[in-house]
Every structure is written in C-alpha cells, then in structure tokens.
Structure 1
C-alpha cells in the first residue's frame, strides 16, 4: 500500500493561506521538488488544483515565463508533468495530466492507496482536513514559516478528533523555515 503524504506551508500561528509566509527560496523549492518526486501522483481539491495549474502549468508556448528563476524550473517541471487526481463536485472535466475523482471520497482514496507505488501527495486545506478526519493520511509534512500571519485559514481547522503524530524528521533552512515531518500514529 502506498502512503498518503500531506505537506503544506504553515505560519507559527497556523495560517495556511498560500500567500502567508516567506517567499520561496532555493532551499525550499528544492525541498518541494523532492517532496513531489516522492509521489507517484498528486491529489488536489478543486481550489488547490486551479491555483497550482495557474501558477505552474507550462504555457502553450512551451517556454517558462520570464519571471521564473532557473532554480524554480525543476519544481515547475515536476508539478507540470506529475499525474494528478482532482476531487471536485463542481468541475465537469480536468486536464493538466489529471483525472476527476467522483463518488465516495474514502473509497476512491483507499483505492488509490492500494495501487503499487511510492506514495501519493496531497496539498491544500479542505481536502486534507476531510482525509485527516477519515484517518487516511499516513504522513504530515509541515513547512513552518517563522512568522505570525494574524489572519487567514488555519491548519486543519474543524478537525473532529485529535490526530496523534510522531515526529520523524526536523530540518531548518538558512531562511529560518523549519520542516517538521511526522508519521500518523495508528
């Protein structure tokens, strides 16, 4: 069974808004690229899928935009080509190497986890909370930004029960960003 890993940027006060925190630097982009490489497929809800697609899909011209630094391209290429599964009740179709997951969420994700491979990556806010409530997430990766946002959506807000975690790795980048990798206790 392949593990389901949830990874997200989070401020010290728990904010997970995509614009909260430090702008990505070379260390964090290398980290995120490596995280994506650990997965056979990405699992997104509609909002995260659309946000990632608008930022990281290769333009029709085939050339990355001028604003993108050379050190950002490996991440862009990795997420652009990765297979994706999108959970949505409002979208009729998806592209960008993606398919729609319909029906019972638990059944669909359990089926994905049963496939052979090295893992699934889930990002975002709403979908991971539902998956955490179902106890389907095997690993949590928090990229902790050394700042207080003071506003915005917070990490796993509304979770029905406590999820016990075992810290299995800590790493600090030169920017002060700390990665905390945890395994879900059974």
Structure 2
C-alpha cells in the first residue's frame, strides 16, 4: 500500500504561519523533504489550494518574475518543483470549493476517497497541507510518515500545525538531518 507522507515547514514553537498568516520567515518553497523521486500524487486542503495554484502557476508563467506572497524571484529548486507540480495529479479535499483550475487537479469531498486513493497502485502520496488537512488525515490514521523542516525561529503565535489532532499519538523517530541555514529535517513514522 502507498504511504501518505505529510511534509511541512514549521517554526521551533510549532507554527506553520505567523499570527497574521505571515510566511516571510520561509526562505523558499523548494523540496527540503527530498520527496520528489518518491511521490506521484499530492493532496491539499481546500484553504491551501488557491495560494498553491497561484504561487506555482506564477513560476510556470514567468520563472524570473516576482512571486506572490514572497516578492522574491523563484529559486532553481522552486522552478523544478513547479514543473513537477504541473505534471503531477493533485487531489483537493474540500467540501466548499466548487472548481479548480490547476492542471491534473480534482476535488474530493470525503476523506474516504483519500483512503481509496492510498490503496491504488503507485508511488507514495504527499500531503502538502495545510494544518487542517494534515490533522484530518492524522485523525483518520491515514498519515504514515511526517517530515518536518524546522526553521530556527520562534513565532510566538500563529497557526499551530497539530492543534486539531484529537488524540495523543506516539511517533517513531526515523532520522534527523541538518540542512542549510540552521534548518533541521525531522522524520517520523506515525
């Protein structure tokens, strides 16, 4: 059976966004998780999808242009990810979205559709986020692995990654890897 891997960036104090939704503390949105060779499908939540489409679509439209949300120019790794995302099937778990325009993307209405997707043949699946999606999948015991890149910053508030997980969950440590600029990737099985 395919694994679902939730891979997200977070602050030392466990937040994925600042108190006002700030993401300016994230250097770039490359693949620090080393997931691309391992996955062939992505899952997103309905709240995250519009920004995801806008960001990666902007890179595809103009790789040297100024990006939404960051005001920066895309890094080489972000351009690589944008091309990967363009050709990779995406499933958006949402009860409220009416349509999606990103190529190879479809809306699924129920977490049971994700369970069925996991049972299909293929490579592993990346649960891109956001926090509500990851918690929902964890509550249904559909997340098999967590890859967390921890930024050396304390935000002091914001959107907590695991605030909606309903029960205590012991994790099995699989490894830690120091990355550039003081980042650390932690990997756990659930």
Alignment partner for residue 140 of structure 2, among 134, 141, 147?
A: 134
Aligned position for 1:64: 63
Q: Aligned equivalents of 2:58 and 2:88: distance in 1?
A: 12
Q: Aligned equivalents of 2:86 and 2:38: distance in 1?
A: 15
Deviations 1:92-134 (A, max 9, x none): 22131201102x31x2111001001111111211011011111
Deviations 1:137-158 (A, max 9, x none): 0001111111100121112103
Give RMSD over aligned pairs: 1.9
1:9-158 aligned within 5 A = 9-17=9-17, 19=23, 21-24=25-28, 29-32=30-33, 34-57=34-57, 62-66=61-65, 67-96=73-102, 97-102=104-109, 104-105=110-111, 107-122=112-127, 123-158=129-164
TM-score, normalization by structure 1 = 0.86
SS in 2 for 1:110: helix
Q: Aligned equivalents of 1:70 and 1:132: distance in 2?
A: 32
1:94·1:100 contact (CA, 8 Å) conserved in 2? yes
What displacement does 1:36 show? Answer: 3.5
What displacement does 1:72 show? Answer: 2.7
Aligned position for 1:179: 185
1:20·1:149 contact (CA, 8 Å) conserved in 2? no
Number of aligned residue pairs: 177
2:132·2:164 contact (CA, 8 Å) conserved in 1? no
Q: Aligned equivalents of 1:151 and 1:7: distance in 2?
A: 21
Q: Which structure 2 segments of 5+ residues have no match?
A: 66-72
Q: Which structure 1 segments of 5+ residues have no match?
A: none
Q: Aligned equivalents of 2:78 and 2:187: distance in 1?
A: 23
Q: Aligned equivalents of 2:100 and 2:143: distance in 1?
A: 24
